[in-house]
Structures are given as structure tokens and as C-alpha cells.
Amino acid sequence: MLSVCIYCGNNKTKALDECGECLKTPQSHTEVIHSIIMSYSEEEPYLNFISKDELEEYRKSIINGLPIKISPDTFQMAEEAFGAVGSLRSPQALKYFSRISDLVIVVVMLLILAFILLGL
Ligand SMILES: [Zn+2]
């Protein structure tokens, strides 16, 4: 995962973490979305909104103190993806899903057991 700090252009490991160089963390909604757009991952290509080359172009703008120009379409796409990923990755949702999967496993095992006992 390659993330570019939207304040100084430095590389970060995670889009929403504090920057090791300027110690700033994305705060506002716009900053969070911009930080997500300024990320590139080989492993999770569906989370990429811009190409690596574009990312480097943006980095140059940031270093030169120019405003980050992101198209409204890209911004909206990132916003929607962040909404979906954000709700799925929240600890509460994860707990909920893991509880359901535990229950599913128990039910399936009971069904198998019932089939073995009754099916003979
Ligand atoms: Zn920074």
C-alpha cells in the first residue's frame, strides 16, 4: 500500500494514519477522502481511484504547494467506496458477521449430524 500525505507529499503506510514527516492526520471528511484517493495498492486494485502516475503527479503538486485537483467523479467514487468499506470494517459489523458465521457452522454441523443419525 502506497499512500501519499496530502499535506507534505511524504509516503505513508496507511491512508488515514498520522504522517511520519509532518505529523498531520486527515481530519475533515474532504481530507479523509483525498487521502484515500492518494493511495495506491497492488493487492487491492479495487480501492485504487487513480493510477500510480497520477499519484506521482499529485505528489508533485503537494510538494510545490499547489492545490490538489481531484475530479468530482473521482471524489464521489472514493466517497461511496469509503462509505461501503468503512461500514464493513467497523468492529461492530465484524463482530456481528463473525457471530453469524459461528452460528451457521453450528447449524451445518447439527444438520450433518442429523443426517448421519437419521439417514442410516
Ligand atoms: Zn505529511
- How many CB atoms are closer than 10 A to CB 81? 16
Instruction: Looking at the structure, tell me whether residues 34 and 8 fall in a common domain.
Output: yes
Tell me how long the chain is.
Answer: 120
Q: Which residues surround ligand 1, an ion (CB under 5 A)?
A: 5, 7-8, 10, 19, 21-22
What is the tally of structural domains in the chain?
A: 2
98: pLDDT confidence band, cut at 50, 70 and 90? low
Residue 12 belongs to domain spanning: 2-89
* Sign for the pseudo-dihedral over CA of 31, 19, 83, 90: negative
8: pLDDT confidence band, cut at 50, 70 and 90? very high
- Cα–ligand 1 centroid distance for 54 (angstroms): 18
Instruction: Looking at the structure, tell me whether residues 21 and 44 fall in a common domain.
Output: yes
What predicted TM-score, i.e. pTM, was given to this entire model? 0.68
- Cross-strand pairs, 2: 40
| Cα distance between residue 23 and residue 7, in whole Å | 10
- Cα–ligand 1 centroid distance for 77 (angstroms): 24
Torsion on CA atoms 16, 52, 88, 27, rounded to nearest 10: 20
Express each pLDDT in 24-68 by its tens digit.
999 999 999 999 999 998 888 877 999 999 999 999 999 999 988
According to the model, what pLDDT value does residue 90 have? 58
